C-alpha cells in the first residue's frame, strides 16, 4: 500500500538556522512521483518540487534543497538559512503512475521560524 | 496570470442546508480535483474529473457531488452538510493525471474555501 510518513509534527528554529524536514514513503510501484508542497497560514498549497522515481539526483533551488534516496525510501527537504517567511506547514506527497494522479499526502510538518 | 480560483474563500452554511463551492481555472488543464482538508490534517482526495470523466474515490460519502460544466469550471455540491463536513476544501488542476514530466501532472492548488457548518 502507498503511504507517506512525516515523523516530525512540529519543528521550531531560530532565523538563519538550517532545518531538514523528513519524508519517508512506501510504494510497490517502480514508477512514482514525489512532491513537496508548502501551506502558509493563508491555506493555499504551493508547489515546491516534483521528482520521479528514476531521477535520484539531488536538487537545489536557492535556499531549498532536496535529497532523494531510493535505498531508504526517503525524500528529505532542507531549508538553509531559514527565514520567518518560511513558517508554514510542509507536506510531502506521493503519486503512483497508474493511480490517476491521486496524491497521497503525509501528515505535514509545521515549521515555525522565530526571529 | 494563469491560476486556480476558488469562490467564496469562506462559506458558512447551516446543518442540512445544501451548499455549492466553486472552482475555476485559467490554466486550460484537463484534470480538476477536489480535496477535503480538516483541521491539522493532510488533504484527502474526494474525486476528480479528467475532461468530462468523473472519478470518485471509494470512500467519498454520497453527500458529496461534483459537476464540471466546461473545462474552466468545477463545482463541489454538499447536499446535506453535517458538522463533520466543516473543513477547508481545496481545488487543484493538472494538465494530465500522470505523465513523464513536471509539466504534465503536477497539481496546482487554489486558495481553498473554508466551510463552516452551524
Q: Nearest CA of chain A to the CA of B96: how many Å?
A: 8
Considering just the CA atoms, what is the radius of gyration of chain A in Å?
Answer: 14
Partners of residue A79 on adjacent β-strands? A19, A64
Minimal Cβ distance to B94: which of A37, A52, A101: A101
Beta strands in B1-118 (DSSP E): 4-7, 10-13, 19-25, 31-37, 44-50, 53-56, 64-67, 73-78, 87-94, 108-109, 113-117
- Confidence at residue B93, expressed as pLDDT on a 0 to 100 scale: 95
Q: Nearest CA of chain A to the CA of B118: how many Å?
A: 21
Residues of chain A with pLDDT under 70: none
- Confidence at residue B22, expressed as pLDDT on a 0 to 100 scale: 97
Question: Cα–Cα distance between B58 and B49 in angstroms, integer?
Answer: 15
- Confidence at residue B99, expressed as pLDDT on a 0 to 100 scale: 67
- Confidence at residue B88, expressed as pLDDT on a 0 to 100 scale: 96
Question: Cα–Cα distance between A52 and A31 in angstroms, integer?
Answer: 7
Classified as helix, coil or strand, A36 is strand
Cross-chain Cβ contact B105/A42 below 8 Å: no
Dihedral in degrees, nearest 10, Cα atoms B49, A48, A71, A12: -120
Residues of chain B with pLDDT under 70: 1-2, 99-104
Question: Cα–Cα distance between B91 and B76 in angstroms, integer?
Answer: 9
Amino acid at each position: 500500500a502507498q503511504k507517506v510518513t512525516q515523523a516530525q509534527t512540529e519543528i521550531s528554529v531560530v532565523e538563519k538556522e538550517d532545518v531538514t524536514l523528513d519524508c519517508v514513503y512506501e510504494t510497490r510501484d517502480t514508477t512514482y512521483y514525489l512532491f513537496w508542497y508548502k501551506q502558509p497560514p493563508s491555506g493555499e498549497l504551493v508547489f515546491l518540487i516534483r521528482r520521479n522515481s528514476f531521477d535520484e539526483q539531488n536538487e537545489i533551488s536557492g535556499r531549498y534543497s532536496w535529497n532523494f534516496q531510493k535505498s531508504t525510501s526517503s525524500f528529505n527537504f532542507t531549508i538553509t538559512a531559514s527565514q520567518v517567511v518560511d513558517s508554514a506547514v510542509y507536506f510531502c506527497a506521493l503519486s503512483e503512475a497508474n493511480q490517476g494522479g491521486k496524491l497521497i499526502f503525509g501528515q505535514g510538518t509545521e515549521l515555525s521560524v522565530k526571529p | 496570470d494563469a491560476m486556480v480560483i476558488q469562490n467564496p474563500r469562506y462559506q458558512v452554511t447551516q446543518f442540512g442546508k445544501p451548499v455549492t463551492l466553486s472552482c475555476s481555472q485559467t490554466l486550460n488543464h484537463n484534470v480538476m480535483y477536489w480535496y477535503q482538508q480538516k483541521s491539522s490534517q493532510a488533504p484527502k482526495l474526494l474525486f476528480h474529473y479528467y475532461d468530462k470523466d468523473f472519478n470518485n474515490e471509494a470512500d467519498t460519502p454520497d453527500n458529496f457531488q461534483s459537476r464540471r460544466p466546461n473545462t474552466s469550471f468545477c463545482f463541489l455540491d454538499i447536499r446535506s452538510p453535517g458538522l463533520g463536513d466543516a473543513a477547508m476544501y481545496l481545488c487543484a488542476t493538472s494538465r494530465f493525471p500522470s505523465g513523464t514530466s513536471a509539466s504534465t501532472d503536477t497539481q496546482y492548488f487554489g486558495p481553498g474555501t473554508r466551510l463552516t457548518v452551524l
